A and B are shown apart, each in its own frame.
Chain A
């Protein structure tokens, strides 16, 4: 069974940094691109970014709204994807979901974690 478990969400002050983790199990992690999607309170889904699988070099991309502040990486040996968030703003307050892209590089996400809440407030 595919499982994705996010962790690291917290209350943090504006301008500070936070790193989220996504622990995966039940599939060959390195074969899949992994994405982060967020949802602000009462709002819709927003794609944050993704990291490609090892066959595609493990490179990452981020949405324009977070580019330069957020970065995504992965550790295939531990089956973990990371979302490093720097210079956090109040607008970054959201539930952050980790998800697996399937079919490969289709833009569809067939497995989602339960989400972790990030609150940016002074």
Chain B
């Protein structure tokens, strides 16, 4: 059981927007930066968002991150079938060290 809680699955139609939440507490999310990763089937994870809301070079602006209080959110707009993947939030915790959420499976209907 991770200290970061994600919904097991979300779904939306192509072209729509979907949001994936990552919930914690004031002692973890509240005090630390959140990252988001996309893992396509059979591949290694890929960094989408770091420091709560920054995109690495090459990541389209359809992907955005935000954080408020004890929850972080990954939003994906203009959904494409190629976005079907597992998505993980992660952070560095001062005592637990590296922490990931349980992951959310995105289905594009």
Interface size class of A (residues with CB under 8 A): 20 to 34
Residues of B within 8 A of A106 (CB): 33, 35, 50-51, 92
Q: Contact flags (1/0) for A42-80 with B, using CB distance below 8 Å?
A: 001111011000000000010100000000000000000
In whole Å, how far is B17's beta carbon from the nearest beta carbon of chain A?
A: 24
In whole Å, how far is B44's beta carbon from the nearest beta carbon of chain A?
A: 4
Q: Tally chain B residues at the interface, Cβ within 8 Å.
A: 25
Quick check: B47 and A37 within 8 Å, CB to CB? Answer: no
Measured CA separation A109–B100 after assembly (Å): 12
Residues of B within 8 A of A107 (CB): 32-33, 35, 90-92, 98
Quick check: A114 and B44 within 8 Å, CB to CB? Answer: yes
Residues of B within 8 A of A103 (CB): 50-51
Residue of B nearest to A111 (CB): B47
A84 within 8 A of B: no
In whole Å, how far is A29's beta carbon from the nearest beta carbon of chain B?
A: 19
Quick check: B44 and A110 within 8 Å, CB to CB? Answer: no
A108 within 8 A of B: yes
Quick check: B44 and A97 within 8 Å, CB to CB? Answer: yes
Quick check: A113 and B33 within 8 Å, CB to CB? Answer: no
Quick check: B102 and A37 within 8 Å, CB to CB? Answer: no
Q: Contact flags (1/0) for B15-39 with A, using CB distance below 8 Å?
A: 0000000000000000011010101
A35 within 8 A of B: yes
Residue of A nearest to B45 (CB): A112
- Point out residues on B near A: beta carbons under 8 Å: 2, 32-33, 35, 37, 39, 44-47, 50-51, 56, 86, 88, 90-92, 97-103
- Point out residues on A near B: beta carbons under 8 Å: 35, 37, 44-47, 49-50, 61, 63, 97, 102-103, 105-110, 112-115
29 interchain pairs, CB-CB under 8 A: A35-B98, A37-B45, A37-B100, A44-B88, A45-B37, A45-B39, A45-B45, A45-B88, A45-B90, A45-B103, A47-B90, A47-B97, A47-B98, A49-B98, A63-B97, A63-B98, A97-B44, A103-B51, A105-B92, A106-B35, A107-B33, A107-B35, A107-B98, A108-B50, A109-B47, A110-B47, A112-B45, A112-B46, A114-B44
